[in-house]
Structure formats: structure tokens, C-alpha cells
Structure 1
Amino acid sequence: MLKFFLVKFIAFFIGCLLCFVLHTVFNIPAVIAASSVGLAGSFIPFSQLFKNHPSAAIYAGSFAGMCSSSLISSYWELGFISLIGACLYVLTLNLFSGFGGKLGSIAFVSVAVFALAKGSFL
């Protein structure tokens, strides 16, 4: 189970980091950055043990990476958002069937929990 969580965390962090860097450093619009990261993540071959969950975690991470640079001041904060997102992803794995709305909800809740913990109210 720890290996399963670790793969989700790494995938979520990669999606979050790439999207955040694309739209803050390279000035690519956030929606295009998120969709590009999600599309690229869908082509990465993963072991049959994990099925398509790492790709979905990359896509959810790219949603979370769309947040403003005024909220995120370091890459450690992206790691904390990714930790929250990976926990939510694993906890809701058997709760909802399919992915419709689930990935965006996980990204929203992880960023909202981070913003509340940081004291930044959007």
C-alpha cells in the first residue's frame, strides 16, 4: 500500500510541478499548461500493477498546479499540496466509480486545504 501511495504522490507532484512551471515561468495560459501536462501524462506507460492511476494522478496534479503564483511561494508548498492530493486520491479510490469530476474535486480540495492551512483565503 505504501508503494501505491508513493507512486500516486510522485505522479501528482510531477503533474502539479510541470503545470505550475509552465504557466508561471513560461507564461503559458494555465488551461493550456494543464491540458498539455495531462495529455503528456496519458502517454507514459506504467506497470499493469498500477493500471491507469498514475496517469490520472498526473492529470489531477496538473489541475492543482493551475493555482496562482501569489498562493505558492516555493516548490515545498507544491509538495505539500501534492501530499494532500495523493492522500485524497488514495482515500477516495473506492469511494467514487470512474473519474468524472473526481480528479478536479481532489485538486480543488487539496489546494483549498493548503490555502486554509496557510491562512490565505482566495
Structure 2
Amino acid sequence: MTSFFILKYLTFFSGCLACFFLHTQFSVPAVIASCLVGLIGSFIPFPKRYGNHPYAAVYAGSFAGMCSQGLIQSYWELAIISLIGAILYVTTRKMFTGFGGKLGSIAFVSVALFILAKGITL
């Protein structure tokens, strides 16, 4: 379970970071950046025992990485969003079957919880 969570976090973070970096630093439209990250992420070889979960985490991370630069000011914030997203993914893994709608929902909720927590602490 621990290695599964660490892999989830790393893949979610890499998808989130890559998408955010592409659309903020290179002015690639957010949707195109997410598609590119998902496509490139699909070619990364992962151990068979994890199934499609690492690929789904990369893609979910790319959804979260579509955030506006006005909401996210640092890469540390992306790391926190990725932690929230990985926790949500792992805890809902057996709750919701399949990936349709789940990945976007996880990305939305992880960003929304981070922005809410950030707003409360300010």
C-alpha cells in the first residue's frame, strides 16, 4: 500500500507539474498542455502490478495542473495539491470503479480544498 501511494503521488505530481509548467512558462493552452502530458505519460513503462493506475494519476495530475497562475504561485503549492490528489485517489480507489469522471473530480476537489485551506489561513 505504501509503494502504491508513493507511486500515485509521484505520478500525480509529475502530471500536475508538467501541465502547469507548459501552460505558464511556454504559453501552451491548458487543454493542449493536459493532452500532451497525458499522451507522453502513456508511454512511461510502469510495473504491471499497478495496472492502469499510474497512467490515470498522470492524467488526473494534468487536470489539476490546468490551474491558473493567479491561484497557484509556487511549485510547493503544486506539491501540496498533488498530495491531496493522491490521498483522494487512493481512498476512493475501491469506492468508484472505472476512471470516467473520477479523474477530473479528484483534480477539482484537490485544487478546491487547497484554495479553500489557503483562503482560510490568510
Structure 1 SS opposite 2:12:
helix
TM-score of the pair, normalised by structure 1: 0.96
The equivalent residue for 1:29 is 29
CA distance in 2, matches of 1:73, 1:67: 10
TM-score of the pair, normalised by structure 2: 0.96
Letter in 2 for 1:4: F
- For the aligned residue pairs, the C-alpha RMSD in angstroms reads 0.9
Percent identical across equivalent pairs?
Answer: 68
Q: How does 1:41-56 map to 2 (within 5 A)?
A: 41-56=41-56
The equivalent residue for 1:18 is 18
Letter in 1 for 2:88: L
Aligned residues: 120
Letter in 2 for 1:28: V
Structure 2 SS opposite 1:49:
helix
Question: Structure 1 unaligned runs (5+)?
Answer: none
Runs of 4+ in 1 over 3 A off after TM superposition: none
Q: Deviations over 1:46-93 (max 9, x none)?
A: 101111111100000000000000111111000000000000000010
